Structure 1
Amino acid sequence: MNLLLLGLIFGAGVTMTTAEDGTKAKRVSRALCNPGTWCPFGGRTYIFISVPRPWAFAQLQCQSLGGSLAVIQNRETNDFLRSLSSRMDSWVGFSDAQLDGVWLWINSERIRFTNWCRAEPNNYGGKQDCAVINYNGENCWDDSDCTTPRPYVCERK
């Protein structure tokens, strides 16, 4: 009842979904998340930063906010971050900069989910060591040159 009341007050819809691992997760519409503010989802909070930065500077900025670049462990989180970032190409905390072809999350969590675009990752045109969500507005990921300034998503627990 309280959750429904909050949804009505903020103009947001809240529904229960079943995650791939069988657990229940709340799906909160983007309307509840004001630009530039932390937004709760799946036990973590996220913020979309629209000011483009290279991947390493984005990670430093996330750390200064008490978090790190976002980690995506399931389809629900991927879809939520896609909405939160207004479907803009955005950095997340996935990289193979330490060893080409060995992708790691910034927080060392085990890889449970990926959403690469067809034929990705591919290092097209040179060294591409950092993951971008929403590539060209699509619901898939691309590997990209880490020095390219892009918007990004931070998370904190």
Structure 2
Amino acid sequence: MCHVRNMAGLELLVLVGVFSVGFGCPNGWLTHNNKCYHFSRETETWLGATRMCEFLKGTLVEIETKDENDYLKQQAKTIGHSYYWTALSDVEEEGTWNWMISSVSVTGDRFTDWMPGQPNNYQNAQECMALDRSQNYMWNDADCKTNYYYICEQSDSPTEVIG
């Protein structure tokens, strides 16, 4: 009987561990308006940054509003690195800037914060967008192969973890 009771307790423990609900952001991530943000401590190319964010169970950041942009700029100023990759790119079609995760274009009435004269596709080699410290972290197009810091995001909504 003792053996059966222990097995039932073990099964219950496994079920509790398998079906759990998590709230909030992972350790080391910052919370703002139901999103979690990770400011990297290392640099990557744009593609490398995309992959690192996926590894961290997030995505490269997509800036949707002025409020979100202001928050990210303030955090970037506090940390102080020169550039941060975001998910905005015109790699699919030159001059058509889309958030690469959601495929949303930044044309029309969508929020943008480009530096004056940007994007300019300098030397036909700038297809990814980074926040640029030299202009108060406004948006600047840059060569996707350059190593920059990056910002990942994920929702801080409740998530059911199975497994």
Is 1:65 the counterpart of 2:65? The answer is no
Larger radius of gyration: 2
Q: 1:107–1:81: structure 2 CA closer, same or farther, 3 Å change rule?
A: same
Question: What is the number of equivalent residue pairs in this alignment?
Answer: 123
SS in 2 for 1:58: helix
Unaligned runs of 5+ in 2: 1-26, 156-163
Q: Within 5 Å, which residues of 2 pair with 1:121-136?
A: 121-136=119-134
The residue aligned with 2:45 is: 54
Whether 2:37 is the aligned partner of 1:40: answer: no
> Corresponding residue for 2:86?
92
C-alpha distance in structure 2 between counterparts of 1:68 and 1:37, whole Å:
16
TM-superposed deviation, 1:80? 1.1
Instruction: Give the drift of 1:83.
Output: 2.2
Distance 1:149 1:61 in 2: 13
Partner of 2:100: 106
Name the % identity.
31
2:40/2:149 contact within 8 Å kept: yes
1:80 and 1:72, CA in 2 relative to 1: closer, same or farther beyond 3 A? same
RMSD (CA atoms) = 1.8
Q: TM-score w.r.t. structure 2 length?
A: 0.70
What amino acid is the match of 1:83?
Q
CA distance in 2, matches of 1:51, 1:107: 22
Given the superposition, is the C-alpha separation of residues 78 and 87 from structure 1 closer, same or farther in structure 2, using an over 3 Å criterion?
Answer: farther
Bigger drift between 121-130 and 56-65 goes to: 121-130
Check 1:144–1:116 CA distance in 2 against 1; reply closer, same or farther (3 A cut): same
Q: Greater relative contact order: 1 or 2 (C-alpha under 8 angstroms, separation 6 or more)?
A: 2
Question: Counting helix residues as a fraction of each chain, which structure ranks higher?
Answer: 2
SS in 1 for 2:52: helix
Unaligned runs of 5+ in 1: 1-35
